[in-house]
Amino acid sequence: MDTETIKYYDKSAESYLDKVCNTYPDSDLLSFINSIKSGGTVLDLGCGPGNSSAMMQSAGLNVQASDCSQKMVDIAKNKFNVDAIKAEFKELSEIDLYDGVWANFSLLHAPRSEMLSNLKKINRSLKKKGYLHIGLKIGNGEKRDTLGRQYTYYQPKELKSLLISAGFTINTIRLDMDGAISMTGMIEPFMIVTAYA
């Protein structure tokens, strides 16, 4: 993982919490929760401060979480009582464990060259027919934003073929080409894809 990106998240973990923290799950998180059997085990991959994990826990899911930023992991553990560890995507070594993986705008911080292998590891960590939610920004290339975070952008077709190569069956794709206002103030298009292992 890019050290400058991790440094940004370590430095801004507290204020990031205020920016992203919802009390109630949004429609994507609700769909994810509703797609997992009750009491199922899920992984919040790139959990940030852990507020999504907390909402999954309140919904009765058994949540494990990981993030590259130690500060984020600390907040997730201390504030939300989430079972979070500091780990990189490539360290994911679980096999056949999860009913669902929530990777919401996290995998875009890894280089493109690692994406297929990250997706294969996620696939391996999921049970058969396990459910993946992935959110990414739409675009081309890899670049650093004005806050210092390194991003890899994907086109929907590219993500689709990567997921298929990693063994997934695509369930739904949602494209928002006019995007949402990001933390840098830029309006960036994004996509939400769900798939089955």
CA distances from 94 to 18, 31, 158 (A): 31, 24, 26
> Site map for other proteins, 144-163, x if CB under 8 A?
------------xx--x---
Q: What whole-number distance in Å separates Cα of residue 119 and Cα of residue 190?
A: 18
Q: What whole-number distance in Å separates Cα of residue 17 and Cα of residue 76?
A: 10
Q: How far is the CB of 52 from other proteins (least distance, A)?
A: 17
Q: How far is the CB of 174 from other proteins (least distance, A)?
A: 4
> Site map for other proteins, 20-39, x if CB under 8 A?
-------x------------
Residue 95 contacts other proteins per CB under 8 A: no
For other proteins, which residue of 87, 97, 173, 188 counts as binding (CB under 8 A)? Answer: 173
Query: CA 152, 73, 49, 145 torsion: positive or negative?
Result: negative
Rg (CA), the chain: 15
What are the residues binding other proteins (CB under 8 A)?
A: 27, 156-157, 160, 169-178, 192
